[in-house]
């Protein structure tokens, strides 16, 4: 009898999750549009704000999009001011409604877009970057001058210090960002290094404190098809059961890994760690190459050749990593 109860419980949980997912609003994202690389360069501004420069390599797999369609756009962070479009894009890109919109034709294959903006200083000892991915993004790079800022956020990887000419930059990496995904990055100045031209400390307004039950959340629940179900019970079914499954899976995986980390398996683990290190180096080289291309240190032909070579090696490394983890 117990297995039957468990089976019914799992089926109910899965059904509720599917219904909940289906009731959420979908993001209108054009198919066939992806971002191969999105690069952020963060620096302290002259007025005490945070200057951000974005470079985007867009991949269009759908065929050329005609001028005036406005199908391709990139969301700006909340509070962004002084938005400037790169000179190479000024004839086909406009800024409106908190977005950078491509009004010119979007060719098939790769195209590059660049723009910059400022997050003003406010009243907290950090900046909050509210970012939203416009499309499926393979990798995001965040570069800050060494010893100037510390960037933190969920899923953000530390890429270490990278030497780029006479300067050193701290690299942060975010991979596999889904279309419509929103996330916050906290950019904290290192003490004594990040001040504006007026001598004030680099700050932004503090985020508003949230209530235990946000009125918007209550209104959303009362308008949902689940309003007759106790909200806390629903939370237990939809959230706690999947979390329990995840904990069980991670615990079981850890136990299995302990069993195999001996003899030949130990050699596989060492190979896995070497591949991880190689992946980190290749990601760093790609970030370095982007900076050099922006500064004119390498011409377009050399940039394209090196970028393709690094990407090919990176694909091979990731493939071998997947083979070791399967």
Q: Give the pLDDT band (50/70/90) at residue 143.
A: very high
Query: Over the stretch 171-192, which tens digit does the pLDDT of each residue have?
Result: 999 988 999 899 899 999 987 6
Looking at residue 261, what DSSP letter applies? S
3 state DSSP class of 246: helix
Q: What pLDDT score does 284 carry?
A: 85
Asked if 33 and 72 touch (Cβ cutoff 8 Å), the reply is yes
Q: What is the CATH number of domain 34-189?
A: 2.60.40.1730
Query: Over the stretch 229-283, which tens digit does the pLDDT of each residue have?
Result: 666 666 667 667 777 787 777 777 766 666 655 555 566 777 778 888 888 888 8
Q: What pLDDT score does 170 carry?
A: 92
Q: Give the pLDDT band (50/70/90) at residue 113.
A: very high
Domain boundary assignment for the chain: 34-189, 261-325
The whole-angstrom separation of Cα 142 and Cα 172 is: 5
Query: Over the stretch 32-55, which tens digit does the pLDDT of each residue have?
Result: 899 988 999 999 988 889 999 999
Q: Give the pLDDT band (50/70/90) at residue 116.
A: very high
> Which range has the top average pLDDT, 6-15, 113-122, 277-286?
113-122
Q: What is the DSSP string of 202-241?
A: --BPPPPPPPSS-HHHHHHHHTSTTTTS-HHHHHIIIIIH
Distant-in-sequence, close-in-space partners of 143: CB < 8 Å, separation ≥ 6: 39, 40, 41, 42, 162, 169, 170, 171, 172, 287, 291
Query: Over the stretch 15-35, which tens digit does the pLDDT of each residue have?
Result: 555 555 454 444 445 568 999
């Amino acid at each position: 009898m117990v297995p039957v109860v468990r089976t019914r419980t799992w089926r109910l949980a899965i059904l509720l999750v599917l219904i909940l997912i289906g009731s959420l609003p979908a993001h209108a994202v054009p198919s066939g549009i992806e971002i191969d690389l999105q690069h952020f360069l963060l620096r302290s501004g002259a007025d005490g704000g945070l200057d951000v420069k974005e470079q985007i390599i867009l991949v269009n797999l759908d065929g050329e999009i005609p001028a005036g369609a406005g199908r391709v756009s990139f969301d700006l962070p909340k509070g962004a001011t002084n938005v400037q479009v790169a000179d190479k894009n000024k004839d086909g890109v406009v800024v409106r409604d908190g977005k950078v919109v491509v009004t010119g034709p979007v060719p098939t294959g790769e195209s590059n877009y660049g723009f910059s903006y400022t997050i003003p200083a406010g009243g907290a000892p950090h900046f909050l970057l509210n970012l939203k991915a416009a499309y499926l993004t393979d990798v995001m790079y965040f570069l800050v001058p060494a010893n100037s800022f510390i960037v933190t956020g969920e899923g953000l990887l530390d890429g270490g210090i990278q030497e780029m000419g006479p300067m050193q930059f701290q690299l942060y990496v975010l991979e596999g960002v889904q279309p419509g995904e929103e996330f916050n990055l906290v950019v904290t100045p290192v003490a004594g290094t990040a001040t504006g031209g007026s001598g004030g400390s680099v700050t932004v307004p503090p985020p508003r404190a949230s209530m235990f039950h946000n009125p918007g959340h209550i209104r959303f629940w009362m308008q949902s098809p689940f309003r007759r179900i106790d909200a806390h019970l629903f939370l237990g079914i939809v959230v706690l059961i999947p979390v329990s499954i995840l904990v069980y899976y991670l615990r079981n995986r850890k136990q299995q890994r302990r069993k195999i980390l001996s003899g030949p398996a130990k050699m596989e683990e060492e190979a896995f760690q070497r591949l991880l290190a190689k992946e980190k180096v290749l990601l760093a080289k790609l970030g370095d190459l982007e900076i050099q291309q922006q500064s004119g240190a390498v011409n377009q032909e050399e940039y394209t050749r090196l970028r393709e070579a690094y990407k090919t090696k990176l694909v091979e490394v990731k493939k071998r990593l997947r083979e070791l983890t399967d």
